[in-house]
């Protein structure tokens, strides 16, 4: 997430809190803004982020997830790579497969990624979700984020910090790149028309979901829809200027989730394959109802912090001037 949208989020939060405190001065009980979110307000069972992760970990339905919730959640999963119930046989696909893989190889790279990605997934769990463990895998050299498609002239800073870093292990950087490209290539198969540019898809949030033992990335496409008096009357700051992303039904598909395979108890065991899925936040679905906070319903944003502890943001930015040149920046 980039800073302008953070401040946008907090500005909204502030205006809600002010409303809440002014209503408390009129002797009404204060409105607990956040605590309402997952609390059962009636007998209708609510979906939680952990339900979502559980369903993506096993084929048989986990007993912890209410069957009604499970059915509704599953109806919102649009898989970019077929959901594979069993761990495929471990086929070692290395660097070579990351550049120019076949469709089958692409699937396998998601189900069972190259060794460094698996090590990262295991490290996430073994470290108890300590993001410092991830940070230590980054090259300490900081790389200033250059102009991205004219962002400088709009005074837009897309990334959390004005500089980024890369993983020491080049295969990890390549894998991230592979995921961005795969989302763009396969998006249309589920109705997601997505482009790699500074208004649409350029970032994801790498998180560690400690309770479920899962490492993942929540990608956000359609980050800055074009301001439009009728359909999107929201000012999101400098980075929205000049946007050519139309606010339409494809906004429902802007949250894309990658999960690394789920590590088992012993060093080499894996209990669930990797996943790449679009989380459909259509207005009549359970994701929209239960997993998207009220104050960003219109933007259809699932928050990464709801899925786990965020370790870093991963950005894939076109920093070329004449010709396209996409680079990874970890911030
Ligand atoms: C939309 O804007 C991006 C970023 O400036 C640009 O790369 C892309 O070509 C534009 N798309 C269209 C259809 O104009």
- Stronger pLDDT, 102 or 286, i.e. the higher one: 286
Domain contains 1:
no
pLDDT in tens, 157-186: 999 999 999 999 999 999 999 999 999 999
Domain contains 272:
yes
Probe target for ligand 1 pocket from 156, 194, 197, with the most ligand atoms within 8 Å of CB: 197
Domain contains 212:
yes
Rounded to the nearest 5 percent, the helix, strand and coil shares of the chain are 35, 20, 45
**Domain total of the chain:** 1
In ligand 1, the atom with minimum distance to the C-alpha of 244 is: 1
Range of the domain at 156: 6-330
Closest CA to 90 of 214, 217, 274: 274
Give the dihedral sign, CA 220/130/269/93: positive
Residue pair 210/198 in contact by the 8 Å Cβ criterion: no
User: Strand 275-279 vs strand 77-79: parallel, antiparallel, or unpaired?
Assistant: antiparallel
Tokens (6 digits) for 173: 């950087």
Q: Is the CB of 149 under 6 A from ligand 1?
A: yes
- Stronger pLDDT, 98 or 8, i.e. the higher one: 98
Judge whether residue 74 has pLDDT over 90: yes
Q: Is the CB of 198 under 6 A from ligand 1?
A: yes
Residue range 99-108: mean pLDDT, rounded: 88
Using the mean position of ligand 1's atoms as its centre, give its distance from the Cα of residue 16 in Å.
Answer: 35
pTM of the model: 0.87
Using the mean position of ligand 1's atoms as its centre, give its distance from the Cα of residue 143 in Å.
Answer: 25
Residue 80: predicted pLDDT: 98
Probe target for ligand 1 pocket from 149, 238, 322, with the most ligand atoms within 8 Å of CB: 149
Domain contains 64:
yes
Using the mean position of ligand 1's atoms as its centre, give its distance from the Cα of residue 196 in Å.
Answer: 9
Instruction: Please report the DSSP string for 115-158 in residue order.
Output: HHHHHHHHHHHHTTS-HHHHHTTB-S--EE----TTTGGGT---
């Amino acid at each position: 997430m980039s800073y302008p949208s953070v401040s946008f989020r907090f500005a909204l939060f502030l205006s809600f809190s002010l409303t809440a405190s002014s209503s408390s001065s009129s002797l009404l009980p204060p409105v607990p803004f956040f605590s309402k979110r997952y609390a059962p307000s009636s007998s209708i069972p609510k979906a939680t982020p952990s339900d979502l992760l559980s369903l993506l970990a096993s084929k048989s339905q986990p007993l912890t997830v209410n069957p009604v919730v499970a059915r509704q959640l599953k109806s919102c999963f649009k898989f970019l790579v077929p959901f594979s119930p069993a761990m495929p046989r471990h086929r070692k696909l290395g660097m070579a497969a990351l550049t120019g893989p076949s469709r089958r190889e692409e699937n396998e790279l998601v189900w069972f990624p190259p060794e460094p990605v698996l090590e990262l997934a295991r490290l996430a769990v073994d470290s108890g979700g300590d993001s410092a463990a991830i940070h230590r895998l980054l090259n300490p050299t900081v790389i200033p984020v250059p102009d991205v498609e004219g962002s400088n002239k709009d005074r837009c800073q897309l990334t959390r910090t004005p500089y980024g870093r890369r993983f020491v292990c080049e295969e990890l950087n390549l894998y991230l790149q592979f995921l961005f490209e795969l989302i763009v290539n396969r998006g249309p198969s589920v109705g997601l028309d997505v482009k790699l540019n500074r208004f649409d898809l350029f970032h994801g949030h790498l998180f560690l979901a400690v309770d479920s033992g899962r490492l993942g990335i929540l990608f956000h496409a359609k980050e800055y829809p074009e301001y439009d008096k009728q359909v999107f009357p929201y000012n999101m700051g400098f980075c929205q200027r000049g946007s050519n992303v139309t606010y339409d039904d494809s906004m429902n598909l802007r949250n894309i989730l990658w999960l690394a395979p789920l590590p088992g108890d012993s060093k080499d065991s894996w209990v669930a394959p990797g996943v790449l899925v679009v989380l459909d936040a259509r207005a009549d679905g359970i994701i929209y109802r239960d997993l998207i906070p009220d104050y960003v319903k219109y933007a259809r944003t699932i928050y990464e912090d709801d899925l786990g502890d965020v370790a870093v943001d991963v950005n894939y930015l076109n920093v070329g001037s004449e010709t396209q040149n996409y680079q990874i920046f970890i911030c």
